[in-house]
Amino acid sequence: MIPVSHTPLRITQLRQRLRDLGAKPCHEDRLLRGWSQVCSYDRVHSPAEDFFPLALRNELPAIEAELYGLARLKSEHGVALSPRKPSPQPSPASGRGGKCEKPCSIPAGEGADVARLLVELHDGQMVESVLLPRGGLCVSTQVGCAVGCVFCMSGRAGLLRQLGSAEIVAQVVLARRRRAVSKVVFMGMGEPAHNLDNVMEAIELLGTQGNIGHKNLVLSTVGDLRVFERLMEGLAHKPSPQPSPACGRGSKREKQSSIPSVKPALAISLHSTDAALRAKLLPHAPQIAIEELVERAEVYARATGYPVQYQWTLLAGVNDSDAELERIAQLLAGKYAVMNFIPFNTVDGLDYRRPSAERTAYMMGTLNQQGILARLRDSAGQEIEGACGQLRARAVSEIIH
Ligand code: SF4
């Protein structure tokens, strides 16, 4: 019997447990594929009951129970989705013979719905995930956040704990049990740079067994040198050959590498080009010169072929001035980048306002005229129950009072 873990579960730990049960890389991969894609472990001519080692088959119900308990839906807010008929739970004894080459989810594009999910973790802590249009999902990487952005509810109570990589993937699994997920953005509660090992592990799994395209995995950061270093390491990495799917006698176990093979797209939370103002808005973000931040992001964008997505929460009278607009135009001229303006949504207890629709349109038009792609991103899901972290804040306060 595998003891239930009380620390955030990492995928490396899960893989080790599987190995302790006699699993080879092909067994690990098939199990992780079935879990992360919410589909059967069976393959044509290779049912799971003949494929997995006996010790693993015997432990599978306990492992599955633990995995599905990592992230449970506490509540859902927003446009109601017709709940997807839950996939039959893969079972080594099922013998269904289903082919597991692609997600069993419904096709991307059918789910144009937006909903915020309050997700309960195995220890009772809560985070938020957001179902985005066109198969997108925004996941949390920490409980709380240490950056303390003044316009965000997630950072109000500081950082409470890190999420394990398996808990991050479990949010995708939870969403995929409702509808297709073909894009994952790491922009929910938490600063991914502060939990980089777990975030990169989750990205690695989602971009391989999870069947999500690399450019559709979007790693967001306020700008942290560790992120750039790790991403640049990944660019130099050549993935080693996949182990034999047949798990033949000659198949060798791949040495686990901490260097990622999956190259995610990059998003930078900029919010101001004025260093002093940025330091006030993002009080605990690393103090990297904005020009350096943009330059490092540019190198990565050119190397991967995915534009950098700059995030800019628009606050009326704070960061929507003509001076900011001019500096954005200078900073991003000729850059492989997209500016995403996200008008602020009113939050109880915060005095900020969003600029008028006319002002927002003027800012976008001015940048677009200068050849800088600027888009309006309504903070998807934020109309529902306010800003990121507010659902959790409300749930916690209901528990306390
Ligand atoms: S906006 Fe992001 S980085 Fe800033 S406090 Fe909120 S969760 Fe943390």
pLDDT tens across the length of the chain (401 residues): 444 456 899 999 999 999 999 999 999 999 999 999 999 999 988 998 899 999 999 999 999 999 999 999 999 987 544 444 444 444 433 333 333 333 333 333 344 478 999 999 999 999 999 999 889 999 999 999 999 999 988 878 899 999 999 999 999 999 999 999 999 999 999 999 999 999 999 999 999 999 999 999 999 999 999 999 999 988 877 655 554 445 644 444 444 555 678 999 999 999 999 999 999 999 999 999 999 999 999 999 999 999 999 999 999 999 999 999 999 999 999 999 999 999 998 876 788 999 999 999 999 999 999 999 999 986 554 444 445 555 665 555 555 44
C-alpha to C-alpha distance for 287 and 275, rounded to whole angstroms: 8
Catalytic pick from 100, 104, 247, 388? Answer: 388
128 is catalytic: yes
Q: Do 40 and 168 share a domain, yes or no?
A: no
**Residue reference for tokens 């080790």:** 16
Q: Which strands form 308-314's sheet, in the order they lie side by side?
A: 71-78, 115-121, 126-132, 136-138, 183-186, 217-221, 265-269, 308-314, 337-343, 373-376
Distance 135 CA to ligand 1 centre (A): 23
| Nearest atom, ligand 1, residue 152 CA | 6
Q: Does 147 sit in the ligand 1 pocket, CB within 6 Å?
A: yes
Does any domain span residue 297? yes
Closest atom of ligand 1 relative to the 282 alpha carbon: 4
**Are residues 34 and 166 located together in one domain of the fold?**
no
Does any ligand 1 atom lie closer than 6 A to the CB of residue 347? no
**Catalytic position from the list 28, 128, 167, 204:** 128
Cβ of 127 closer than 6 Å to ligand 1, yes or no, is no
162 and 301, same domain (yes or no) = yes
Whether residue 388 lies in the annotated active site = yes
The pLDDT of residue 154 is: 81
What range defines the domain where residue 39 resides?
1-68
Q: Which of 68, 93, 119 is the last residue of a domain?
A: 68
Cα of 171 vs centre of ligand 1, distance in Å, is 18
Residue 283 lies in a domain: yes
Residues 200 and 344 in one domain: yes
Residues 205 and 297 in one domain: yes
In a domain, 276, yes or no: yes
How many Å apart are CA 382 and CA 347, to the nearest integer?
10
Q: Check pocket membership of 117 for ligand 1, CB cut-off 6 A.
A: no
Looking at the fold, whether 49 and 131 belong to one and the same domain comes out as no
Q: Which of 128, 154, 269, 310 to mutate to test the pocket of ligand 1 (most atoms within 8 A of CB)?
A: 154
CATH number at residue 334: 3.20.20.70
Residue 155 and residue 389 in contact, taking contact as beta carbons nearer than 8 Å = yes
| 171 lies in some domain | yes
Structure token pair of residue 218: 């979007």
Is 245 a member of any domain?
no
pTM of this structure: 0.86
Identify the three-state secondary structure at position 198. Answer: helix
CA triple 36-53-10, angle to 5 deg? 40
Q: Is 268 in the pocket of ligand 1 (CB under 6 A)?
A: no
**Within-domain flag for 91:** no
d(CA 139, CA 171): 7
Find the 299 Cα to ligand 1 centroid distance in Å: 24
Q: Give the contacts of 107 (CB within 8 A, at least 6 positions apart).
A: 180
Residue whose Cα lies nearest atom 4 of ligand 1: it is 149
DSSP element (H, E) containing 29: helix 25-37
> Which residues on neighbouring strands pair with residue 220, listed in sequence order?
267
**Ligand 1: does its nearest atom lie under 6 Å from the Cβ of 154?**
yes
* Å from CA of 284 to ligand 1 middle: 10
Residues 35 and 177 occupy one common structural domain? no
**Are 54 and 166 found together in one domain?**
no
369 shares a domain with 270:
yes
Strand pairing category for 159-162 and 142-144:
antiparallel
Give dist(CA 245, CA 222) in Å, integer.
40
267 lines ligand 1 (CB under 6 A): no
Ligand 1 pocket test, pick from 129, 145, 187 with the greatest ligand atom count within 8 Å of Cβ, gives 145
Last residue of a domain, one of 17, 34, 68: 68
Q: How many domains does the chain have?
A: 2
Is 330 a member of any domain? Answer: yes
The torsion angles phi and psi of 163, rounded to 5 degrees, stand at -95, 140
Q: Quick one: 368 and 297 in the same domain?
A: yes
Residue at 10 is within a domain: yes
- On whether both 136 and 64 belong to a single domain, the answer is no
